[in-house]
Amino acid sequence: MLDDILHKATRIFTPVVDATFLQEEYFAIDMSSANLDLTMDMLAKPEVHHQYLQDLLQRNSAKVAYGGYLERRSLYDRSNYFQAKDDKGKRNIHLGVDLWCPANTKVLSPLNGKVHSFQINKNFGDYGPTLILQHDISGYTFHTLYGHLSEASLENKVVGQNVHPGEVIAALGASEVNGEYAPHLHFQIIVDLEGNHGDYPGVGSQNTLEHYRVNCPNPNLILKID
Ligand SMILES: [Zn+2]
């Protein structure tokens, strides 16, 4: 039912980064462990990963590299923040979609909503500056999370402030503030925030996958990139 509401919340392709990027300038990428280009050495150096992505985009006449919903990644092996004693508890399944484009790219709200909460999440490999919006549509309440923002994005934000579809709500942060990643937006739908404010897991484990799959529907239901 909620999937249906989310699907109907937008009618066509609806961007959450710079509205001048055309739908045909989005390029799907594989960030899973199966992509052998992504060596641990590259992922340890955000500027090298960023250059890899920019080269890939240029070769494909594209502006935004995107993907990652329920993707299983080795990227998180570099940070203790995601580790566990056993493989099924290890957090390596990505729960949102990532949109890789340069720092300072504008971030837009796809829907009517209001500011639920925001904070800077400072663990290594975490979101850095993070914003969560609340949306109330057709009697349903759900949330959207925007991670890896610039610090300036959170200045002058007020809990409860209204946002409109297409409104610029933030900008992408550089590696120095975004948890030490190549610049990208982490966009995630979250039905129940489970008491969280300004934060919510963006990566789950095999043990928790069924729970998160239901609580965090596919972001592409709203974005309609493909
Ligand atoms: Zn992400």
Query: What is the per-residue pLDDT across 119-147, written as a single tens digit (0 to 9) for each?
Result: 999 988 899 999 999 999 999 999 999 99
| pTM (predicted TM-score) | 0.95
**Smallest Cα–Cα separation from 148: which of 187, 93, 95, 94?**
187
Instruction: Delineate the domains of the chain, giving CATH numbers in brackets.
Output: 2-219 (2.70.70.10)
If you measure from the C-alpha of residue 126 to the centroid of ligand 1, how many angstroms do you get, rounded to a whole number? Answer: 9
- The Cα–Cα gap between 151 and 138 comes to 33
Ligand 1 geometric centre to CA of 98 (Å): 5
Q: How many Å lie between the centroid of ligand 1 and the Cα of residue 82? A: 13
Q: Is the pLDDT of residue 172 over 80?
A: yes
Q: What is the pLDDT of residues 48-81, one digit of tens each?
A: 999 999 999 999 999 999 999 999 988 777 777 7
Q: Is the pLDDT of residue 41 over 90?
A: no
CB 177 within 8 A of CB 129: yes
Instruction: Specify whether the CB–CB gap between 186 and 148 falls below 8 A.
Output: yes
CA proximity to 105, closest of 52, 177, 25, 168: 168
Query: For residues 84 and 208, what is the distance between their CA atoms, to the nearest angstrom?
Result: 13
Query: Which pLDDT belongs to residue 82?
Result: 78
Tell me the pLDDT band of 38, cut-offs 50, 70 and 90: confident
